[in-house]
Amino acid sequence: MLASLTLRCVVFSPPHFCAPMAGVTHSAFRRLLAEFGGYGGLCTEMLAGLALLGENTRRSPYTRRRPEEGQVVYQLLLRNADRIPEIVARLAPCEPAGLDLNCACPAPDARCQKAGGELFEDPPRLAAILDALRAAWNGPLTVKIRLGKNTPGWEERLADRLRLFEECGVDAVTVHPRFFDEKLKRPARHQLFAWIAGLTRLPVIANGDILGPQTLDANPQPFAPVAALMVGRMAVARPWLFARWNHPGPTPDYGDAWFRLFEYVREDFPDEKALRRVRTFTAYYARNFAFGHRLASAVRSAPDLDSQRERAARFFEADPPLVSAPDFSGVQ
Ligand SMILES: Cc1cc2nc3c(=O)[nH]c(=O)nc-3n(C[C@H](O)[C@H](O)[C@H](O)COP(=O)(O)O)c2cc1C
């Protein structure tokens, strides 16, 4: 892998991205990651295109970008090509480093809208959206995919979509090698990256179960042909992961990072929404600790933000023992 990924003159260095995660990669979380640094690019959570038209994108916690965040790719959840020039124009004040089309998400909301993973299965609609995005946006355009539906012919469909992306002027593709319906507990198929990279001239960004440099050290071969890496849940549990990738350091202050995130969420969101964002972050962060379920459930059941903070303070004061590797199974 090269030391950076350059798409249309935009340099992502190192070629390490934080994945788009709904409910997590909002402005407050990106601010925390930015304080640690070490990544080449961050992603927003998926942003419903038409909803963006009603947002003040400079102020909304989903879209606002602080300068210290560096390169931020804005991920769009679109179901058709309606109003794409306006949607792209809405994001202009945020100066996106790139736009990404979500063709991966299996969540019920995306399904209902026939967007995300469902869009992957509908080439004419997909091409119309990509053509409209390409016409409206000169910067890096990427697509995030899974493997599609696990029915006969999936390999041909995947190869066909990669060709479609090339024809539509896409600059890179992020591959999360699980089938559409598979839960995150099923291991990502890293062994497929080489085959997929061989199918396309587009740079491939590898995603899924990448826990840090140890994943590549343990099994470097599947990652040899990929252009970049994208990490999701492990970056939530360890927001310093990118900073420490090539520069190991002392054990971070886990309590301090939690409280910083808490304050940033409180600053950017109204209370009711902040409460939910703190719960979601904590569900992943708590997996760092041997008895992290106590932190997760105390924060989840707290009726307001002050109680969330008090309960977390009690947990961190007890100097909770860490686990060596967080396990995310069953995180809601
Ligand atoms: C809480 C959560 C929210 C997610 N939201 C999105 C999203 O908005 N867009 C998207 O493309 N993928 C989304 N994903 C999938 C991640 O981007 C990523 O593909 C997946 O977590 C696998 O990577 P990981 O093993 O490094 O976590 C989400 C995953 C999680 C855990």
Distance (Å, whole) CA 281 – CA 125: 34
CA-wise closest residue to 92 among 68, 115, 116, 65? 65
* Model confidence pTM above 0.95: yes
pLDDT score for 1 = 76
Beta pairing, strands 228-231 & 204-207: parallel
Ligand 1 mean position, distance from CA 317 (Å): 31
319 backbone φψ class: left, alpha, beta (φ>0; ψ -120 to 50)? left
Mark 132-151 as b/e (b = at least 16 C-beta within 10 Å): bbbebbebbbbbbbbbbbee
The residue nearest atom 29 of ligand 1, judged by CA position, is: 21
pLDDT score for 2 = 80
Distance (Å, whole) CA 103 – CA 162: 12
Q: Three-state SS for 229?
A: strand
Ligand 1 mean position, distance from CA 117 (Å): 13
Amino acid at 311: R
Length of the chain: 332
Ligand 1 mean position, distance from CA 318 (Å): 32
Q: Could you tell me if 292 and 320 are in contact, meaning their C-beta atoms sit under 8 angstroms apart?
A: yes
pLDDT score for 168 = 98
pLDDT score for 34 = 98
Kindly give, in sequence order, each residue whose CB lies less than 8 Å from that of residue 135, ignoring residues fewer than 6 positions away: 84, 85
Give the percent of the chain with pLDDT over 70.
100
How many Cβ atoms sit within 10 Å of the Cβ of residue 244? 16
* Residue segments in the chain with a per-residue pLDDT below the cut of 70: 332
What are the sequence ranges of the domains in the chain? 5-244, 254-317
The residue nearest atom 31 of ligand 1, judged by CA position, is: 233
How many Cβ atoms sit within 10 Å of the Cβ of residue 60? 17
Look at the alpha carbons of 245, 247, 252, 257 in this order and tell me if their dihedral is positive or negative.
Answer: negative
Atom of ligand 1 nearest to the CA of 100: 11
The residue nearest atom 7 of ligand 1, judged by CA position, is: 21
pLDDT score for 26 = 98
For residue 100, the cross-strand partners are 75, 142
Task: Tell me which residues have their CB closer than 6 angstroms to ligand 1.
Answer: 19-24, 45-46, 75, 102, 104-105, 144, 176, 184, 207-210, 231-234
pLDDT score for 106 = 93
pLDDT score for 332 = 66
Ligand 1 mean position, distance from CA 155 (Å): 23
CATH topology of domain 5-244: TIM Barrel (3.20.20)
